[in-house]
């Protein structure tokens, strides 16, 4: 497997580890796009959230919360953006399930939410298409 995140887990590629437990590994994104940009990954390889088992997803999200609270409670940040992309169509670039945490401060000037160009269909049509029946 040629997964860069699996190579980081194996120690083949160095990383700036923020947190680790038996199921999850969190490290700084080396892209240098924003201070503190953290990636949280399961130690078991999954392509994305769509093929991730429920227990692994639970473990990842518990640690995402733990790390996020640490950033706010202990590191001087006011909040965090948490995001995830699933599949190439959603701009996923590394195909190992991961959650991004971006620490935020009031007035930091970052735009942490995408700008969408507007719906193409009526909300009623989308409701009919997307609603779930248990």
The predicted-structure confidence for 88-134, as pLDDT tens digits, reads as follows: 999 999 999 999 999 999 999 998 888 888 899 999 999 999 999 88
Has residue 84 got a pLDDT over 90? Answer: yes
pLDDT of residue 129: 93
DSSP assignment of 68-119: HHHHHHHSS-SEEEEE---SGGGT--SSS--EEEEEE-TT-----SPPP---
Catalytic residues, which ones? 98
- What is the pTM (predicted TM-score) of this model? 0.93
pLDDT of residue 134: 81
Which helix (H) or strand (E) covers residue 40, if one does?
strand 38-42
- Among residues 27, 32, 31, which one has the least CA distance to residue 15? 27
The predicted-structure confidence for 12-57, as pLDDT tens digits, reads as follows: 999 999 999 999 999 999 998 999 999 999 999 999 999 999 999 9
Distance, in Å, from the CA atom of 45 to the CA atom of 6, rounded to the nearest integer, reads: 7
Mean pLDDT over the full length of the chain: 95
Which helix (H) or strand (E) covers residue 18, if one does?
strand 17-20
CB 8 within 8 A of CB 27: yes
pLDDT of residue 58: 98
Mean pLDDT of 72-99: 96
The predicted-structure confidence for 34-44, as pLDDT tens digits, reads as follows: 999 999 999 99
Q: What is the DSSP letter of 31?
A: T
pLDDT of residue 113: 81
Has residue 64 got a pLDDT over 80? Answer: yes
């Amino acid at each position: 497997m040629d997964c860069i995140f699996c190579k980081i887990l194996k120690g083949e590629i160095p990383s700036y580890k923020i947190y680790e437990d038996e199921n999850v590994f969190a490290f700084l994104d080396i892209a240098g796009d924003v201070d503190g940009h953290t990636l949280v990954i399961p130690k078991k390889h999954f392509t994305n959230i769509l093929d991730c088992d429920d227990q692994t997803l639970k473990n990842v999200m518990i640690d995402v919360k733990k790390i996020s609270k640490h950033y706010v409670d202990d590191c001087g940040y006011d909040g965090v953006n948490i995001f995830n992309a699933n599949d190439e169509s959603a701009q996923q670039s590394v195909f190992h399930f991961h959650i991004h945490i971006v620490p935020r401060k009031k007035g930091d000037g970052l735009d942490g939410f995408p700008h969408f160009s507007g719906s193409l269909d009526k909300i009623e049509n989308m409701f009919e298409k997307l609603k779930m029946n248990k």
